[in-house]
A and B are shown apart, each in its own frame.
Chain A
Amino acid sequence: MEILRYAVFRFFTMLATLLVVSALVFFIMNLPPGDYLSNLIAELRSTGQDSGVAKVEFLRQEYSLDQPLWKQYLIWIGFWPGPHGFSGIIHGDFGWSFEYDKPVSEIVGSALWLTVLVNLAAVLFVYVVALPLGVLAAVRSKTWVDYTSALIGYLGLATPNFLLALMLFYYGHKYFNLPIGGLMAPEFEGEPMSAAKVKSVLVHLIIPTFVIGTAGAAAMMQRLRANLLDELSKPYVETAKAKGVPPIRSVLKYPLRVAFNPFVADIGNLLPSLISGSVLVSVVLGLQTIGPALLTALKSQDQFLAGFILLFVAGLTLIGTMISDVLLALLDPRIRYGGRKR
């Protein structure tokens, strides 16, 4: 029951954080002078198309851009009635994209799931790679295994994501015949799910996952290695060795479990950087996630589209962090009780 209460508590703090983040996002979206519609009006005026101005003015009222900023925010979130009653993000109305002349939900619809998919794949990749390599590097510390993994890790950390993406892309295509661009073969786009489509998506995921995950995996691996090394030098491990516990068991039984804790806790740091990476890599590789949409929306000041995407990305991080916190509390009772007293 304790854990359930903690989960509920964590859920509400997440909601509160999300609310603050939404205000921040809205503020940033309104930082640039002017907005999409006023730019459009200026453009229409200067080219003498006064008839269009009336339509844009209508849009301005329709989307409450003529209201004061704080009211605009409340309407956007859905705490204040707009011209057509309550209809904000909490009611499932994500706003209107002026650039595409479509509702935001229609533009980002399928991209949202693909974004979640890409990031899940990256998180999985990080764990699958970092866990064995980190353990190996610690157990065989100061041997070539350790040095090679450290070297690869450092290179992954230092190479700009987008370049790594381009390089792997080129060589992956040249030598392994991996597909170029997108998240699925073009003929599957808009098709219903099928085994062939799933396979196509999986093959297309290889390079993006690798690129997005490498830096995170490197950092994670180093941390696991350091923690495990600390643990392995403790007397109880020596005692175990002296008593004849087999080497694998003497690492897995206790030291790894203790060293594992920060591994889970770290997901809060890992997720923001992974999602940052996925946005960048999506733009470079032309993945159908929300990354490219965010970039065009930001460049053309399409504020509702950009605002929603930013909010979604932040929300994704917050939810991920929340899940990891609850998992951590399940794993380690000290955190559950320690967290209260602070």
Chain B
Amino acid sequence: MTDLPQGRYVDDAPYDPNADREALERPDLDAPNWLLIWRKFRRHRLGLISGIFLAFSYLMLPFWGFVAPYTPNERNADHLYGPPQMVRLFHDGKLIGPFIYPMTAEADLENFRWIYTSDYENPAKLEFFCTRGRYNFLGFIPTQRHLFCAPEGATVFLWGADRLGRDVFSRILYGAQLSLTVGLIGITVSFLLGISIGGIAGYFGGGVDWFVQRVIEVLRSIPELPLWLALSAAVPSHWSPVAVFFIISIILGLLDWPGLARAVRSKFLALREEEFVRAAEMMGAKPSRIIRKHLLPNFSSHLIASAMLSIPAMILGETALSFLGLGLRAPAVSWGVMLNDAQNLASIEIYPWTAIPMLPVIFVVLAFNFLGDAMRDSLDPYSHH
């Protein structure tokens, strides 16, 4: 730097006109697309937290059997409707590690309910890496090892027990496996249908387009739930729980595609007129290749965001169907099946913990909404808000 009078400066380096011409107008945009998206996404703190929460929930799915102290259908006849128990650390002011006070049930024959009293004299220390009920680790390795469990003669119901004395906490963990995957299978079905049907309509236009549009209008005008009910009522009652699970997820996806197809169609209509599509056509590319290689990548990110926003609808749909007794059936465990138990006012008043499965439902649905919103905002890195 050279100092000039009146506080002005001049750079000593020789001036290079080429460098000036090559300089980027917006250096902050000189990065691969995914990095730009990530930079923008990072700023949505709520969306980021939601994304981490969801990733954690899904990645942990195979391991929940290990974390849960009980197996999902393990009954505890002595602790029907047992209230939640707290894990404590201090007994009589002394630190003795995580323990619980054992409960004993007494029948109240006047009101016909169980009265539970905790035994505050004999703390029962929790065991770790103990062997209890048999389950399949990762779904195929039979084992009896659990992360933690109650010692003999005591129970550990973190969130209480239900009408058959089954642990609500363990059932919620197992229920996540079905409740969370229902949305994934459903969205896959919906995606395949929506993209192919919407793509065909948008690419070819004309009569096909007209027909598809009428079908979409008809399907969108029918209330979803009654139709879901009717379709699930048609599932034969003798099918295995796994088959029922798959067919229910497919039913949920079957009614979701019209919205997606409509979005895909309008994007196609706009993109079809672009020069790069015409160029590809002239070079002899087949329609399927143009759709896959040139059109879909242009708005795949938009599609992912809209998928994030329709998964919660399916999770709620499964909950509603199972709640009404037309969705998944016992012995399958899902959040909706569990809420089926909380169907009457009495259980909400006397045993409020049977309604706990609604918390994970609310959290997951909220998380998907926040994540979807954040993604939709950050997918176009060149826009400014």
Contact A279 B226 (CB under 8 A): yes
Do B223 and A154 touch across chains, with their CB atoms under 8 A apart? no
Q: Are B324 and A163 touching (Cβ within 8 A)?
A: no
A160 CB contact (under 8 Å) in B218, B223, B323: B323
Q: Interface SS of chain B: helix, strand, loop or mixed?
A: helix
Q: Is A121 part of the contact surface with B, judged by Cβ < 8 Å? A: no
Chain B stretch 195-254: residues in CB contact (< 8 A) with chain A:
214, 217-218, 220-227, 229-231, 233-234, 236
Contact B229 A31 (CB under 8 A): no
The digit string for A10-24, where 1 denotes a CB below 8 A from any CB of B, is 000000010011001
Partner of B362, one of A33, A159, A301: A159
Instruction: Tell me the chain A residues, 145-199 only, with Cβ under 8 Å from chain B.
Output: 154-155, 157-163, 166-167, 169-170, 180
Number of B interface residues at 8 Å Cβ cutoff, please give it.
39
Is A329 engaged at the interface, CB distance under 8 Å to the other chain?
A: no
Closest residue on chain A to residue B355 by CB atoms: A163
For A164, the closest partner residue in chain B by CB is B358
Point out the residues of chain A lying under 8 angstroms from B28, CB to CB: none
User: Taking the complex as formed, is A32 at the interface, i.e. its CB lies under 8 A from any CB of chain B?
Assistant: yes
Main secondary structure, interface of A, reads helix
Q: Which B-chain residue is minimally distant from A14 (CB atoms)? A: B221
Q: How far is the CA of A21 from the CA of B214 in the complex (A)?
A: 11
Please tell me if A275 contacts chain B, counting CB pairs below 8 Å.
yes
Return A342 CB to nearest CB of chain B, in Å: 10
Stretch in contact with the other chain, from A45-53, A203-211, A312-320: A312-320
A277 in the interface, Cβ–Cβ < 8 Å? yes
List chain B residues, Cβ under 8 A from A271: 223
Given A163-B355, A318-B221: A158 touches B366 (CB 8 Å cut-off): yes
| Other-chain residue from A31, A158, A166, A280 in contact with B225 (beta carbon distance below 8 A) | A280
Which chain B positions have C-beta within 8 A of A31? 231, 234
Q: Does B369 belong to the interface (CB within 8 Å)?
A: yes
Residue of A nearest to B220 (CB): A272
Which one of A20, A162, A318, A321 has the greatest number of beta carbons of chain B within 10 Å?
A162
Interface flag for B160 (CB, 8 Å): no
Q: Which residues of A contact B (CB under 8 A)?
A: 17, 20-21, 24-25, 28-29, 31-33, 154-155, 157-163, 166-167, 169-170, 180, 268-269, 271-273, 275-277, 279-280, 283-284, 294-295, 298-299, 301, 306, 309-310, 313-314, 317-318, 321
Apart from the given pairs A279-B229, A294-B229, 7 other A-B contacts in the complex at a CB distance below 8 Å? A20-B218, A157-B365, A268-B220, A272-B223, A275-B226, A306-B233, A317-B223
Q: Across the A-B interface, give the 6 residue pairs with the lowest CB-CB distance, nearest first.
A: A276-B225, A298-B233, A31-B234, A158-B365, A275-B223, A32-B234
